[in-house]
Structure 1
């Protein structure tokens, strides 16, 4: 492939899907497991941690106030 083909391939739109925005994540304080979510959960829904079975906290995304990084 020549230089022009490389530049053309780099500028063409990609067929890859863009990832969905993250609204926040469930976070386990005990073992640092993070489960990102595309939308906020309804009410005070709690999830058990898949590693330690302790309740996980929902935290908002970094641009939403309470970072779930």
Structure 2
């Protein structure tokens, strides 16, 4: 195998994610409580059983305050 083939193989392997490292679960971001620092991914709000405001925004499970939505900056996580 030549040097160029080796470099190409290494670079393509470094951008491939293993199946158990997450995936496309439909997440667009996460809800944050600025007062408590609590973070809940948008796809986990219902399974966490969070209360919601009148417009559907989740309330913080710790303090009850309205949480802020923040979109994921990259395509591989909602953080």
The two structures have a TM-score, normalised by structure 1, of: 0.51
Residue of 31, 34, 41 corresponding to 1:36:
41
List runs of 5+ in structure 2 lacking aligned partners.
1-17, 44-54
Q: Select the structure that is richer in helix.
A: 2
The two structures have a TM-score, normalised by structure 2, of: 0.46
- Structure 1 residue 27: Cα displacement: 0.4
List runs of 5+ in structure 1 lacking aligned partners.
1-13, 39-43
Which residue pairs with 1:8 in the alignment?
A: none
Cα RMSD over matched residues? 3.0
Residue of 49, 52, 61 corresponding to 1:50:
61
Q: Which runs of 4+ in 1 moved over 6 A?
A: none
Aligned length: 48
| C-alpha distance in structure 2 between counterparts of 1:56 and 1:23, whole Å | 15
Residue of 42, 62, 69 corresponding to 2:73:
62
